[in-house]
Structure 1
Amino acid sequence: MTSQQANGVELGIESFGRDTDPLVLLAGGTTMLSWPDALCERLAAGGRRVVRYDLRDCGASTTVDPEAPAYSLRDLAADAAALVGALGATTAHLAGIGVGGMVAQVAALDHPDAFSALTLVGTRPVAPGPVDDDLPDHHAATIHALFSRPRPDWTDRTAVAAYAADGAELLGNDPEQVRTTAARIWDRTPSTEPAVQQANQLAMVFARLDCAPRWRERLGDLALPTLVVHGRVDPFFPVGNGEALATAIPAARLLVLDKMGTAIPDTAADKLAAAMLER
C-alpha cells in the first residue's frame, strides 16, 4: 500500500497485477478495504491492473476534518478521473461500492473520456438523504437496531472489530469477514479520534457532504459498458435501488447475488470477477 497524488490530494492506493495491463480502478466505500483481497487477486489473474483506493478522509488519503468536509461529491468524482492519469493510464474500468458507487456514477458522467467501463455495487442513483418515491429506502427496523447500539471505544482495536462484527448479520454480511476487515481498517486509520474512525468504519462523512446537483436524470447519457451488482438481502440500499440503476443506464447488466448484503462476500469473488472481466 502506498499513496498517489491526484487532483491536489493524496489518495491511498494498493495495486495488484501488472502495470502494463488494462486498469481497473476500485473506489472505496469509503475505504479501499470495501473491495476484498480475493476479488482484486482474481481480477489481476484475469489480466487486469487493479488499483483500489481510499476516498478522502479515509485510510491513507488526505484527512482533514471528516465532520466538516471542504469538498463535494463532484470533487471526489474528479479525484477518480485524475487518478487514472496519475497512474499513467488513458482510461480505466471504474468500479464503486456503496457511497463509492455514487462517486463512480458522477465520475463517469462528468469525465466520460477517463473511463471505459463501469461497475456499480450496492449503491443507488440518488445522494444520501430522502429517496425518490419509486426507490426503496433503508429498512427502518434494521437501521434503528444498527445505529441504536452503543458506540465502541474507538481507541480499542478489539472493541471496534467486535462492534462491526456484531452489526454484520443485520446488514446481511459474514461476521468474521467483517471483523477481520474492521480490524484492518482500524490499523490503517490515521487517528483514533471518533470522527476519523467513524469516517473509516461507518462512512459518516457522506452524511455531511455536498452531493448537489442531482445526477439520476443524466444516467441515460452513459454510453459505456455497465455492470450493476446488488445483494438480494441488502437492507441499507435494498435491491430495488440496483434494479432502478440498471433500468436507467442503457444496456446495463444487472447481477443480483442472493446471499450478499452490503459487503461483497469472499465467496462471491469468482462470480463477480468473471462478470467484471466481461465489461
Structure 2
Amino acid sequence: MTTVNVQGIDLGIESFGADDGPLVLLAGGTTMLSWPDALCERLVAGGRRVVRYDLRDSGESTTADPLAPAYTLRDLAADAAALVDALGGGPAHLAGIGVGGMVAQVAALDHPGAFSALTLAGTRAVAPGPPDDDLPDHDAAAMRRLFARTTPDWGDREAVADFAAAGARILGDDPAAARALAARIWDRTPGTAPPVQMANQLGMVFSRLDCAPRWRERLPALKVPTLVVHGLENLFFPVADGEAIARAIPGARLLVLPEAATAIPAAAVPQVADAMLALG
C-alpha cells in the first residue's frame, strides 16, 4: 500500500499484479476494502494489473473534514481519471461499488478517454437522498432497524466491529465478514477521532457531498463495455436500481447475484471476476 498525489491530494492505493498488465481501477465505497482481496487476486490471475483505492476522507487518503467536505462528486470523478494518468495505465477498466459506483458513473461520463470499460456494483444512478419516482427507495423496515441502533464508541475497535456485524444481519450480509472488514477499516483509519472513524465505517462523507448536476439522463451516452453487478437481496439499493442502470447504458450486461445483498460475498467472487475479465 502507498499513496499517490493527484489534484493536490493523496489517495491511498494498493496494487496487485505486474505493472505492464491492463489496468483495473477499483474505486472504494468508500474505502478500498469494499473490494474483496480474493476478487483482486482473481483479476490478477486473469492477467490484469489491479489497483484499489480509498476515496477522499477515507482510509489512507487525505483526510480534511469528513463532516463538511469541500469537494463535490465531480471532484471525486476527476480523482479517478487523474489516478489513471498518474499510474500510467490508461485507458483503464474502472469499477465502483456502492457510493464508489456513483463516482465511477460520473467519471466515465466526464472523462471518457480515461476508461475502456466500466463495472458498477450495488449502486444507483441518482445521488443520496430521495430517489426518482420510478426507482425504489431503501427498504423502509431495514432502515428503521438500522437507525434505531445505538451508535458505538467510534474509538473502540471491538464496539465498532460489533456494530458492523449487527448492521450486516439487518441488511442480509455476512456478519462475520462484516465484523472482520470493520476491524480492518478501523486499523487503517488515521487516528481515533470519532468523526473520522464514523466517516470510514459508514461513508458519511458521501451523504454530505454536492452531487449536482444529475447524471442519470446522460447514461445513454456511455460508449464503453459495461457490467452492472447487483445483489438480489440488496435492501439498501434494491435490485431495480441496478436494472435501471443496465437499461440506460447501451449494451450493458446485468449480473444479478441471487444470494447477495450489499457486499460481494466470497461465493460470488469467481463469477464476478470472470464477468469483469470478459469486458476486456
Structure-to-structure mapping, 1:116-195, within 5 angstroms: 116-195=116-195
The reply to whether residue 254 of structure 1 matches residue 254 of structure 2 is yes
Q: Report the Cα distance in structure 2 between the residues aligned to 1:266 and 1:122, rounded to whole angstroms.
A: 15
Q: How far 1:191 moved relative to its partner? A: 2.1
Count of residues paired in the alignment: 279
Q: How far 1:90 moved relative to its partner? A: 2.3
The aligned residue for residue 239 of structure 1 is 239
Aligned AA for 2:234?
Answer: D
The aligned residue for residue 83 of structure 2 is 83
Structure-to-structure mapping, 1:94-133, within 5 angstroms: 94-133=94-133
Report the TM-score when normalising by structure 1: 0.99
Q: Report the Cα distance in structure 2 between the residues aligned to 1:191 and 1:72, rounded to whole angstroms.
A: 24
Q: Report the Cα distance in structure 2 between the residues aligned to 1:26 and 1:70, rounded to whole angstroms.
A: 23
Report the TM-score when normalising by structure 2: 0.99
Q: Report the Cα distance in structure 2 between the residues aligned to 1:148 and 1:194, rounded to whole angstroms.
A: 19
Q: Report the Cα distance in structure 1 between the residues aligned to 2:213 and 2:231, rounded to whole angstroms.
A: 27
Runs ≥4 residues deviating over 3 A: none
Aligned AA for 2:125?
Answer: P
Aligned AA for 1:158?
Answer: E
Structure-to-structure mapping, 1:259-274, within 5 angstroms: 259-274=259-274
Check conservation: 1:7, 1:83, Cα contact below 8 A.
no
Three-state SS of the structure 1 residue aligned to 2:229 is strand
Aligned AA for 2:89?
Answer: A
Q: Report the Cα distance in structure 2 between the residues aligned to 1:248 and 1:74, rounded to whole angstroms.
A: 20
Structure 1 regions of 5+ residues with no counterpart?
Answer: none
The aligned residue for residue 58 of structure 2 is 58
Q: Report the Cα distance in structure 2 between the residues aligned to 1:9 and 1:172, rounded to whole angstroms.
A: 35
Which digits, 9 at most, give the CA deviation of each residue in 1:213-254, with x for residues without a partner?
A: 000000000000000000000000000000000000000000
Aligned AA for 1:219?
Answer: L
Question: Cα RMSD (Å) of the superposition?
Answer: 0.6
The aligned residue for residue 10 of structure 2 is 10
Q: Report the Cα distance in structure 2 between the residues aligned to 1:191 and 1:66, rounded to whole angstroms.
A: 13
Q: Report the Cα distance in structure 2 between the residues aligned to 1:214 and 1:89, rounded to whole angstroms.
A: 29
Which digits, 9 at most, give the CA deviation of each residue in 1:97-156, with x for residues without a partner?
A: 000000000000000000000000000000001100000100011011012100111111
Q: Report the Cα distance in structure 1 between the residues aligned to 2:110 and 2:192, rounded to whole angstroms.
A: 35
Which digits, 9 at most, give the CA deviation of each residue in 1:155-197, with x for residues without a partner?
A: 1111111110111121111011111110000000002222111
Three-state SS of the structure 2 residue aligned to 1:43 is helix
Check conservation: 1:24, 1:48, Cα contact below 8 A.
yes
